Amino acid sequence: MTRHHRTVHRLLWPALAVIVALGFTMALVLRPPPEQPAQSEPK
C-alpha cells in the first residue's frame, strides 16, 4: 500500500464509518414495535 493509498484510506474510512454508525443507530431507533406482525418476505 503506497502513501497515497494510505492517505485516502485514512480520510475515507472514518467518514464512511461515521455515516454507517449513524445509519445503524437510526435503524435501531426506528425499529418497528414488537407487536407488529413479522413480514414473511426474505431478507
Which residues contribute to the site for other proteins (CB under 8 A)?
1-10, 12-13, 16-17, 19-21, 23-24, 26-28, 30-32, 34, 38-39, 42-43
Least separation in angstroms between CB 31 and other proteins: 6
Least separation in angstroms between CB 20 and other proteins: 4
What whole-number distance in Å separates Cα of residue 16 and Cα of residue 9? 10
CB contact set of 1 (below 8 Å; sequence gap of 6+): 9
Least separation in angstroms between CB 23 and other proteins: 5
**And the C-alpha cell for 27?**
435503524
